[in-house]
Amino acid sequence: MSNYDFTTDWFTRFAGVWRELLRRYPPTRLLEIGSYEGRTACFLVETCASERDIELHCVDSWGGGVEHDAGAMPLVEQRFDRNIAAACAAAPRAVAFHKHKSLSSDALIKLLAEGRQESFDLIYVDGSHQAPDVLADAVLAFMLLRPGGLLIFDDYLWSLEGSGRQDFYQMPKPAIDAFINIYQRRLTVIGAPLYQLYVRKTGS
């Protein structure tokens, strides 16, 4: 980690759960929606590319969400570029890395248009926290995920406001719940810490 430049750490507390999932369902083609400084992406490179060649796609507008200071985002993107470059350079196996600087809906639709339906083994949804955006990311990601692949949602219980004052429009949970309910016959929820939600696709 000494070669990285991170100013935040929202991921490390979940690293143990992720290691077990990556061991149980080893992915080769990975897609991350929402990359920020690249901490999770670097973890994926370190963990997965230690054993096999991988393909990693990172999607982010680097414009920030309602919870971010938009003026700081250019520096966040620069840190991402340096961090992911360091991770890929140090990886024992080849990393085919693709950066998509775009709104997530545009990037995911483009991947579908390129014929990438059901081609990813793991998709991590950690982009916009507004419910309509989260729902769109979930539906499009499910189309890109192969049967048996993992779909991971971050910030399941996140809200911009305090407890009792939440605006459902600005929460991932209502969108994730709606997606899980609608697609329940085509997925399995994997038991794990509640702040993230882990799903395995069982049917197309």
pLDDT digits (tens, 9 = 90+) for 120-150: 999 999 999 999 999 999 999 999 999 999 9
Q: What is the CATH number of the domain that holds 84?
A: 3.40.50.150
Q: Is residue 32 assigned to a domain?
A: yes
H helices of 25-72, in order, are 39-48
Residue 197 pLDDT greater than 90, yes or no: no
Encode burial over 158-194: b for 16+ CB neighbours within 10 A, e otherwise.
Answer: ebeeeeeebeeebbbbbbbeebeeebeeebeebeeee
pLDDT tens digits, 67-85: 667 778 899 999 999 999 9
pLDDT of residue 192: 67
* Residues 120/157, Cβ–Cβ less than 8 Å: no
**Could you give the C-alpha distances from 159 to 128, 139, 195, in angstroms and in order?**
12, 21, 11
Strand partners, 29: 55
Please report whether residue 66 resides in a domain.
yes
Please report whether residue 26 resides in a domain. Answer: yes
∠ CA 129-167-161, nearest 5°, is 80
Domain ranges, residue 154: 19-166
Residue 75 DSSP SS3: helix
- Count of domains forming the chain: 1
User: Tell me: the pLDDT tens digits for 152-184?
Assistant: 999 888 777 667 667 777 889 999 999 999 999
Residue 59 pLDDT greater than 70, yes or no: yes
